[in-house]
Amino acid sequence: MTEILATHVREAHERIRGHVHRTPVLTSTRINELSGAEVFFKCENFQKTGAFKARGAANAVLSLSEAEAARGVATHSSGNHAAALSWAARLRGIRSTVVMPRTASRVKIASVERYGGTIIYCEPNHRAREEAADKVVRETGATLIHPFNDRRVIAGQGTAALELLEDVPGLDAVVCPVGGGGLLAGTAVIARAASPSTRVLAGEPEGAADASASLASGVRHPVETPASVADGLLAYVGDLTFPVIQAQVERIATVSDAEILEAVRLLFGVLKIVVEPSGAVGYAAVAGGGLGVAGKRVGVILSGGNVDLERVLGL
């Protein structure tokens, strides 16, 4: 297995920097008072397509050879990666096909359509998704771009932390959410190299806590029926991402749905930004106290902002 190196993250950054936003870092005195840490928010909710997923998708698509690119790309996703891949494919002027469960939200479907992606609907289960995606790959020769278990995607996701560590030197810790582990693995790889004294930490929903359980036991194992308001973090940590996490991530704290929604409300009311529940899990973990970062300088990646707040907050 080829190792994922910091140099891959730096190369990814050179490749995608003209196409993605260098998102701002926001701070708030009041949030520092409330959380007991000095927090620097890397706002990937402002990223192209509304989430950090644009980074990994752009790196993967721009890494393809001309011959590969000519055959297009495909993926299966009901979330932010679907829109990000369609966006990245349009950037390069190539075809993208996204397999989505027929139950996917209208907002997500509209987003893929806006970027010109072709949608293939399937039954809402894992097997139907994979079979449909395999069929697309077999019939069209498209390259499958997995949402997280892909070296090019992992390297691309690491560019968010690369920018954060450049913009805020001397962070004691960097914190992000973990689902399949692409963002966390990319973050860990670049942080270890660029800022060795910075601890790499994560937050994970209680109802989908496979990564923290796997980290604790040393063996990767799934949660039977993951469920959380953080619907972007239900994936099972990957066989490419887990070894990186195991080697380089110090701690993963779990947070309840109530804590996640409280974080969304606070970021909305105090920081004046829209963050989706999955995107707020890193901050929820800091606020929850389980990461041991009191009094520290902490970079928190807010990973996405694609949400109907009226639905989530019950407003």
Active site residue 195: no
Cβ-based nearer residue to a second copy, 181 or 279: 279
Using rule CB under 8 A, residue 45 touches a second copy = yes
Q: Identify whether the C-beta of residue 119 lies closer than 8 Å to the C-beta of residue 100.
A: yes
Which among 43-51, 60-68, 159-167, 237-245 is the span making contact with a second copy, rule CB under 8 A?
Answer: 43-51
The residue within the footprint of a second copy, chosen from 5, 17, 46, 135 (CB under 8 A), is 46
Catalytic annotation, pick one of 35, 42, 48, 53: 53
Active site residue 303: yes
Using rule CB under 8 A, residue 1 touches a second copy = no
Tokens of 34: 């409330």
Using rule CB under 8 A, residue 312 touches a second copy = no
Q: Phi, psi (5° rounding) for residue 289? A: 90, -5
Using rule CB under 8 A, residue 20 touches a second copy = no
Query: At 246, is the secondary structure helix, strand, or coil?
Result: helix
Residue partners of 268: CB distance under 8 A and separation at least 6: 274, 275, 309
Smallest distance, a second copy to C-beta of residue 296, A = 21
The residue within the footprint of a second copy, chosen from 3, 7, 14, 24 (CB under 8 A), is 24
Q: Identify whether the C-beta of residue 181 lies closer than 8 Å to the C-beta of residue 151.
A: no
Smallest distance, a second copy to C-beta of residue 27, A = 8
* Residue 225 CB neighbours (<10 A): 8
CA distance 264 to 228: 14
Using rule CB under 8 A, residue 309 touches a second copy = yes
CA distance 181 to 183: 6
Using rule CB under 8 A, residue 121 touches a second copy = no
Residue partners of 189: CB distance under 8 A and separation at least 6: 4, 5, 6, 8, 9, 154, 155, 158, 244, 248
Using rule CB under 8 A, residue 106 touches a second copy = no
Residues 247-276 that bind a second copy (CB under 8 A): 268-269, 271-275
* Residue entry with tokens 């041991």: 292
Cβ-based nearer residue to a second copy, 91 or 202: 91
Cβ-based nearer residue to a second copy, 50 or 179: 50
Tokens of 5: 């190196």
Angle at Cα 249 formed by Cα 158 and Cα 81, nearest 5°? Answer: 40
Report the catalytic residues: 53, 303
- Residues within the interface to a second copy (CB under 8 A): 21, 24, 26-27, 29, 45-46, 48, 50, 268-269, 271-275, 305, 309-310, 313, 315
